[in-house]
Structures are given as C-alpha cells and as structure tokens.
Amino acid sequence: MNPCRLPHLRGLAVLFLATVCSAAERGVQRAPFGTTPEGEPIESFTLTNARGAVAQIITYGATVSDLRMPDRTGQLASVLNPVVPPPLGTPASYANSAAVIGRVANRIAQGRFKLDGREVHVTTNSGPNHIHGGRRGFAKVNWTGAVVPSRNGPAVKLTYVSADGEEGYPGRLEVSVTYTLTPDNTLRIDYGATTDKPTPINLTNHAYFNLAGSGDVIGHEVVIYAKSYTPSDAALIPTGDIAPVAGTPLDFTQPALLGARFDRLPANRRYDHNFVIDRPTGDTSLRRAARVREAKSGRVMEVWTTEPGVQLYTSPLGAQPVADKPGFYCFETQHYPDSVNHANFPSTILRPGQRFSSTTEYRFAVEK
C-alpha cells in the first residue's frame, strides 16, 4: 500500500505526508518498460533530484538501469557501463548488470551447507558451486515497485516474495529494496527482509561502474578501506582465512590506478576479490568502503555501507565495449562469500522474528 494514498489520516499527518509525498512524487516518473522473458510487464521509475542527477530503476531484477551524474563542467553522463549483448534496452541486457543479487550473493561451495544440523542443497549454477542466488536469482525476477514518501529525495520501493524452496533455499522470504536519490547526488540503497524459517541472506547490487562514461577504467584511481581480504581457491571459493593485503596486488589502502597491477593478477588479469572493510567488530554503522576518482571528468564516487565486506570485480579483458582493457568495475557490498560454510565469518543466517536490514550508499561528487 502506498502511504501517500491512505484515506484515514487527518490533520497534521495529512499536511506532513502531503508535503513529503508531493516532493517525492515530483521527482519520480513512472512508465512502462517492456516485458520480461515470461511476458510480464516491466515498469521503470526515473528519479531526478534538484541538481539534475538521474537514476532509472526498473522492476526487472530491481535494477538500476541508468545513473547519470555531472562532471566538473556540469555535463551529465551515465556512470554505469551497460551490458552490450543482447540488444541494449531489452530486459535481458540488464539481467547481470546493476540488479539486486540474492537470495545469497556470490558463492556457496558445492551448493550446500548445514543449517541447524540439517544439510541444505541449493542450485549449482557455476560448475559444482552456487553463485548469485541460482539459475533464476533475484536479478531475473520481476519485482513490484511503488513510489514512497521520503524526506531525503525521490524514492522507489521494490518488493518480492521468494517462495519456500526457491532455488533450494528454506523459508518464505519477503524482501524489499528502496532506492533514494538524495539532493547531494547520493544513490542510497536500503535492503530489508523477513522470513518464516531460518535461511541465509546476502543481498548486493551488481552495478558496473565507469566514471568516465565510456572507454576503459584502467586510469581510475582507487582506494579501498580494507587492510585484509578473504583468500580463495581457483574457483573463487574462500579458504576461510583472512589475510593482509599488504604486499599483494590487492593493496589499495593508498590511492592506486586500477590497472597498475593487472600484470600481477592471475591469467585473466582481473579483480574478483572480497575485501574485509576496516571496522570494529560488531559495528554495523555506515562505513566508507571505497573511493574512486576519474581525473578527466573530475567525478568521484565513494562507497559507504553497513556490510562487513566489498567485492571488487573488474570486467575481463576483451569484454565489450573496450577490447583488451576492462571497461567497468563493481563494488559489491556484501557479507563474505560462502559465509554459510565458515563459522569464523560474520553470519548470514536470518531467523523468524528477526529483520534483515542493510544500507549502501554510492556518493558522487566532482573535483574541480
């Protein structure tokens, strides 16, 4: 139900909601956006703030289909690098881009884990392992969207109900994600979920960023506020260790160009690593996870999150649209991969009566 349409409110409540709701709805354009592969109608919600920044959200995958931010001259350009094949603008072209990933983002070894003494088997869709929620994870379902009141800028809330047993996961999971475009050019993402059975949950967004708006990203200057990472095997399954980044090509504790150490990475010369964000044990406040600067445009992006980890992923060399150089990178805020199989990692288990909540902010600015 849209609280902007509640008929029973009276007096000051009406005045307050009218002010907040009208401001929110002025900054949102709602429109059709094609259909899913199954023929369901997709909607788009275009959020625009007073400074002209734009975020377009579509219900398919709860995806950020466009995100336009100004450069130092005030010119807007998309800071997302869309998937090229299949044809741009079709739902399939967004299925693996800036969508919400779940029920569990990243990997689960062998597609199995023990929960309260019982072995649970989930879909294996990456060789013998599970990745990004399975064959039809949250990125490939059609969510329900609604404009919601917000004092922080135009906002849209998307909801989805994941059935008990979907992709092998236990429990009926009611999940939501709210996108807000703030006056200071921040895209804020608030996740929430409840369940009727114990189940793991690890939600993230898979946005492909390129602050230049086009071309490659090797010259983007990166800082990651993480002194440690989770080493993994050849299949990118964590070993369970937490190791220092010092002395490795993963050390971004000081500003470094993204492409400066590609020659020290494995044969595919790309990043696909989970970093342990510097934060006190038990702290779940918003913490800065990463900062990226692109010199030519002057655009700066900071990643803030309540999550304990962030996965840096760069496009494989040779991926479109830039041959031989990576054209995008992701900062996927998350719990660590395969947490369900490592007792020393922060837990991803949600239980009945609890509420899962997580916030990530992509904060944009310019340097003159």
- Separation of alpha carbons 245 and 268, rounded Å: 20
Which pLDDT does position 327 carry in this prediction?
Answer: 86
Residue 35 bridge partners (DSSP): 41
| Cβ-based neighbours of 303, under 8 Å, separated by 6 or more | 288, 289, 290, 291, 310, 331, 333, 360, 361, 362, 363
Which pLDDT does position 94 carry in this prediction?
Answer: 62
Nearest to 51 by CA among 15, 76, 21, 14: 76
Query: Is residue 43 among the annotated active site residues?
Result: no
Could you report the per-residue pLDDT of 185-225, keeping only the tens digit for each?
999 999 999 999 999 999 999 999 999 988 889 999 999 99
Which pLDDT does position 14 carry in this prediction?
Answer: 40
Nearest to 232 by CA among 137, 96, 342, 333: 342
Mean of the per-residue pLDDT values for the chain? 89
Could you report the per-residue pLDDT of 309-364, keeping only the tens digit for each?
999 999 876 555 555 678 899 999 999 999 999 999 999 999 999 999 999 999 99
pTM of the model: 0.91
Q: What is the mean pLDDT of residues 89-98?
A: 64
Nearest to 194 by CA among 178, 164, 172, 165: 172
Nearest to 191 by CA among 212, 176, 209, 174: 176
Contacts 24+ apart (CB under 8 A), 87-91: 89/34, 90/34, 91/33, 91/34, 91/35, 91/36, 91/37, 91/42, 91/58, 91/60
Nearest to 175 by CA among 47, 357, 361, 360: 357
CA distances from 40 to 21, 93, 137, 215 (A): 28, 16, 17, 34
* φ, ψ (nearest 5 deg) of residue 28: -130, 130
Contacts 24+ apart (CB under 8 A), 92-97: 92/37, 94/58, 94/60, 94/61, 94/63, 94/65, 95/60, 95/61, 95/139, 95/140, 96/139, 96/206, 97/63, 97/65, 97/206, 97/207, 97/208
Count CB neighbours of 181 within 10 A: 27
Kindly tell me if the per-residue pLDDT of 87 is higher than 60. Answer: no
Q: Which of 29-38, 127-136, 168-177, 224-233 has the lowest mean pLDDT?
A: 29-38
Which pLDDT does position 214 carry in this prediction?
Answer: 87
Kindly tell me if the per-residue pLDDT of 16 is higher than 60. Answer: no
Which pLDDT does position 3 carry in this prediction?
Answer: 46
The domains found in the chain, sorted by start residue, are: 3-366 (2.70.98.10)
Kindly tell me if the per-residue pLDDT of 19 is higher than 90. Answer: no
- Separation of alpha carbons 187 and 180, rounded Å: 6
- Separation of alpha carbons 129 and 112, rounded Å: 8
Query: Is residue 206 among the annotated active site residues?
Result: yes
Single-letter amino acid code for the residue at 93? S
- Separation of alpha carbons 211 and 214, rounded Å: 8
Q: Is the bond preceding 255 in cis, omega lying within 30 degrees of 0?
A: no
Region at 34 (left for phi over 0; alpha for psi -120 to 50; beta for the rest): left
CA dihedral 138, 226, 236, 124 (to 10 degrees): -20
**Catalytic option among 130, 132, 206, 335:** 206
Count CB neighbours of 261 within 10 A: 16
| Cβ-based neighbours of 166, under 8 Å, separated by 6 or more | 103, 134
Which pLDDT does position 281 carry in this prediction?
Answer: 86
Single-letter amino acid code for the residue at 81? N
Decide if 138 contacts 102 (C-beta within 8 A).
yes
**Catalytic option among 166, 167, 307, 332:** 332
CA distances from 44 to 156, 160, 161, 353 (A): 10, 16, 19, 33
